[in-house]
Chains A and B, each alone.
Chain A
Amino acid sequence: MRIRIENGTVVDPSQNLDAKRTIYIDGKKIKDVLEPEDISNPPFSADETDYVYNAEGQIICPGFLDMHVHFRDPGQEYKETIETGCKAAAHGGFTDVCCMPNTVPVNDQPEITKYMIEKARALGGTRVHPVATISPGSNGKALTEMGLLLQAGACAFSDDGYPVTDAQLMRRAMEYARSFDALIISHCEEMRLASGVMNEGIISTRMGLAGIPNAAESIMVMRDIALCELTGARLHIAHVSTAQSVEAIRRAKEKGLPVTAETAPHYFTLTDSAVLEYDTNAKMNPPLRSEKDREAIRKGLADGVIDAIATDHAPHAELEKKVPFDLAANGIIGLETSVSLSMSLVHDGILTFSQFVEKMSLNPSKILKITPKMVASGQAADITIIDPSKAYSVSSKSFQSKSRNTPFDGWSCRGKVMRTIADGKIIY
């Protein structure tokens, strides 16, 4: 298929580009990216064009990559499948996602890794890059066959959801991963401290809910940074939620350690006051924190301490959320609200548009050593088109995800995903 995207502005930090361009897509590749004055010489004529998209007032970005999602497939397909998850991703502007391994069974075998990749490939939409576990069964008692898992297509290793409590295992995992220059993604949580159900603070006290102190996260962030310094392995801190974690990562980066970090839209958008009505859709792990933490996360994004925005998209069925707060499952879906919520950082002057694209596309690619997408001739046609000023209200009814557990239903947003193109195919 031949596609022409005209009148839009390309924002591509990998080539320092922020200018009006016309894009010509032929098959799976970008054929040409032309300046407005050069379009008299197109690579294919209007007659040969199958589809024209008018991107007037819109931003054309290299395809977005969400490096932290949970697709529940295999094993809990009633929450999400690879198919519904990929559709939600495409709807949310993502050409690529990294699936966390806490499926049932967990992704600790090359066969499971291959299953995930193949299933997504057969669907022909958003691509799936599976993260495999650090330990078999994520039980924290041994190492997985990282070499074989990498050969099968795993992009990183994490026991997300089940933090590695044994420091010796984490040390060896990082050492072993360094043999392949593989990435370890750490879900930082000190399990004994993290025995509560929401952030520890004024609100948890007022509501009579057991709290999780910031230290439950930052202790493990600091431990893993120390192990990163010991082993030299590449370490990525998942879902940073506290000011202390941001500080620790800042110091690690100043030391030159190979540490990177992500946060999720809810941590720079909401605080623990969202829990006030015992809203189980505001329950996640790590929990929503205080205003001070939210400020620190926003600052960390602005000054580059936090490299990437990832959703931690965690689908749960209604019956797992329609229960008393203490008993509700942790996590919210995020793929279909991530871009709009993150755009508010641009509107609020915290990120430039180019920085926003870095957090959504360029940086996660670099962290995962996946070839960064570029809006340039000869590159794969992976493109996300956004209308930055389009105002709309979020309706979970329009979601492609199988689950509806979002606290953002009905929210007014400015900035919307208009099109997602992967390998030259319009997938949204």
Chain B
Amino acid sequence: MNRFHKKHILDMASLSVDEIELILNTATALKEISERPIKKVPTLRGKSIVHFFHEPSTRTRTSFEIAAKRMSADTFSISASTSSMTKGETLLDTVTNLQAMNPDIIVMRHSVSGAPHFVAKHLNASVINAGDGMHAHPTQCLLDLMTAKEAVGKIKGLKLSIIGDIFHSRVARSNIVGFVKMGATVTVAGPCTMIPPGIDSLGAQVTHSLEEAISGADIIMTLRIQKERQNNFFFPSEREYASLFGLSYDRLKAMNKNAFIMHPGPINRGVELSSDVADCPESLILKQVANGVAIRMALIYLLMGGTRDAHSN
């Protein structure tokens, strides 16, 4: 399959295996652009992309900006503080106004789960979900798939363990769905308070033992522990979390000699991950960042190629 027929990238559940493979292959082909002295191709000249970030984000937003610029698209930014939403405008009002500007793609991050799906229903433009609430973060999953494939060789049969606050993590939800769909085995680990009920129905195996999660894994992904989760009693203290589920290099090596390390960032050094793990040779964290740009270039490229088909249908 060469054509991409999706109009939106909302979550991993709505992408097929073939579509995911096409995105990964396209990203691999486009990655080379970022390594050229002149890191720009004219492919999407004249296309306009709005970056609508209702929740603060530096990394994801920058990654999308760079991806768009390397493809020569025009970009516009709206953040929660600059949009009229702070003045009481509803999401629907904002979206209707955006529609009037006739953008081709809206890249959207929102603190409310399902907000991008809502916007997609009311817009003619394509919507890329750059993270919604605790629900989904499909571009993160795609860049993780790409990074994992580069490191291990293939996704099928790969063992991924995700450790930490699964409950609040859109990255965990998307990665469980995406990796399982592509034939990997996904194990999640954390204190029971951080493992939401029914997560196994997404295809994940659940353990509360760090040792069990780490020992057999090819790739270990740790998640950021947010101190404010103490407020709703999800965990007692960073000290306890670090001692029970925090990964130091010695601890990692005692349980697993060969596993690679991933983290969606930003890292809480000394809590879920010690510095010697973040910066160790097995760490793929900077590769994840580089692949993030390639995946986002691939997505806007494919969505723009797919728009014509969407119109003809």
Binds A, one of B231-239, B247-255, B280-288: B231-239
* Chain B neighbourhood of A147, CB < 8 A: 240, 243-244
- Asked if B208 CB lies within 8 Å of chain A CBs, one says yes
Q: List 21 A-B contacts (CB under 8 A).
A: A142-B230, A143-B230, A143-B233, A143-B235, A146-B240, A147-B243, A147-B244, A148-B240, A168-B232, A168-B233, A172-B193, A172-B232, A172-B233, A172-B234, A175-B191, A175-B192, A175-B193, A176-B193, A176-B233, A176-B235, A179-B192
- Contact A142-B233, Cβ < 8 Å, known A147-B244, A179-B191, A179-B192: yes
Task: Kindly report which residue of chain A lies nearest to residue B231, judged by CB atoms.
Answer: A142
Q: How far is the CA of A180 from the CA of B208 in the complex (A)?
A: 8
A 220-242 to B, binary, CB cutoff 8 A, 1 in contact else 0? 00000000000101000000000
Pick the residue among B208, B232, B233, B239 that contacts A145 (CB under 8 A): B239
Q: What residues of chain B have their CB less than 8 Å away from a CB belonging to chain A? A: 191-193, 208, 230, 232-237, 239-240, 243-244
Q: How far is the CA of A42 from the CA of B240 in the complex (A)?
A: 52
In the complex, which residues 53-85 of chain A have their Cβ closer than 8 Å to any Cβ of chain B?
none
Q: How far is the CA of A143 from the CA of B244 in the complex (A)?
A: 15
Interface centre among A143, A168, A179, A233 (most CB of B within 10 A): A179
Question: Is B236 touching A144 in the complex (CB atoms < 8 A)?
Answer: yes
Q: How far is the CB of A416 from chain B (nearest CB, A)?
A: 45
Q: How far is the CB of B27 from chain A (nearest CB, A)?
A: 38
Chain A residues within 8 Å of chain B by Cβ, number: 18
A 135-151 to B, binary, CB cutoff 8 A, 1 in contact else 0? 00000001111111000
Question: Is B192 touching A176 in the complex (CB atoms < 8 A)?
Answer: yes
Question: Is B191 touching A176 in the complex (CB atoms < 8 A)?
Answer: yes
* Chain B neighbourhood of A145, CB < 8 A: 236-237, 239-240
Q: How far is the CA of A179 from the CA of B48 in the complex (A)?
A: 49
Q: How far is the CA of A142 from the CA of B239 in the complex (A)?
A: 14
Question: Is B208 touching A142 in the complex (CB atoms < 8 A)?
Answer: no
Task: Kindly report which residue of chain B lies nearest to residue A177, judged by CB atoms.
Answer: B192
Q: How far is the CA of A178 from the CA of B192 in the complex (A)?
A: 6
Task: Kindly report which residue of chain A lies nearest to residue B244, judged by CB atoms.
Answer: A147
* Chain A neighbourhood of B235, CB < 8 A: 143, 176
Can you list the 10 inter-chain pairs with the closest CB atoms, starting with the nearest? A172-B233, A145-B240, A143-B236, A179-B191, A179-B208, A175-B192, A178-B192, A179-B192, A175-B193, A147-B244
- Asked if A169 CB lies within 8 Å of chain B CBs, one says yes
In the complex, which residues 160-179 of chain A have their Cβ closer than 8 Å to any Cβ of chain B?
168-169, 172-173, 175-176, 178-179
Q: How far is the CA of A176 from the CA of B190 in the complex (A)?
A: 10
